[in-house]
Amino acid sequence: MATDFGDESGEKLFDWVLRIGQDASEQAMLASAEKLKNALRNARGEIRGKGPEDAAEQPSEWAKLSMEQFASLPEYRSIKEIIDGKLSGEGIEHAFFEDKGKEHLLFKVEDAPSVSRTFGDLEKQADIALDRALEERGKTREQIRDAQPLEERAASARESAKAIEAARGKAHEVEIAAVRSK
């Protein structure tokens, strides 16, 4: 089944969406997948939008990305494994570490475009996984959205808009680490 997605991470995303669906309704599956896609989209913007703050004699070689948005999602451990597997599959040197109680993804600055591209691939795979999981339940996104009362859809849209606006205004969480290789 990995051929449905192009690699194993898509299959793991499908399993993640199904686990969410087992614990809740199709609406929860849709909402969780959208939150994951937003976190991936925001992370991509943070990766692209950040560079060295100072003109240091020797530029930093490592960057860190806050995993805070991902940690708030259901089944965070699975999401982290998916990200780890996808980055490893792409040959991107990386590590997860905790700093001041928050988890971060550490990667080489020169790999930032590849990390961003990888997160973009995961975003697309999340859509495919959601559609496939809903299909297994005999539903479509449109049916799920249409079944939801208009007031709830409006509230959900307002919440999404607030989250997007908050992400835009938030200081980017990618930092150039002061770690230099010798």
Contact partners, residue 111, CB within 8 Å, separation at least 6: 92, 93, 94
Kindly state the tokens that stand for 24.
């809740």
**Confidence tier at 142 by pLDDT (50, 70, 90):** confident
The rounded distance, in Å, linking the Cα atoms of 36 and 73 is 7
The 8-class DSSP code of residue 92 comes to: -
Question: What is the residue type of 119?
Answer: F
What confidence tens digit (pLDDT) does each residue in 54-105 have?
Answer: 444 556 788 999 999 899 888 899 999 999 999 999 999 999 999 889 999 9
Kindly state the tokens that stand for 87.
């980055």
What confidence tens digit (pLDDT) does each residue in 29-40 have?
Answer: 778 888 888 888
Q: Is residue 112 a contact partner of residue 63, using CB atoms and an 8 Å limit?
A: yes
pLDDT of residue 180: 47
Start-to-end CA distance of the chain, whole Å, equals 43
Percent of the chain with pLDDT over 70: 72
Kindly state the tokens that stand for 54.
């100072």
pLDDT of residue 181: 47
The rounded distance, in Å, linking the Cα atoms of 142 and 24 is 18
Torsion angles phi and psi, residue 178, rounded to 5: -85, 20
What confidence tens digit (pLDDT) does each residue in 150-166 have?
Answer: 677 677 677 767 766 66
pTM over 0.95, yes/no: no
The rounded distance, in Å, linking the Cα atoms of 18 and 12 is 10
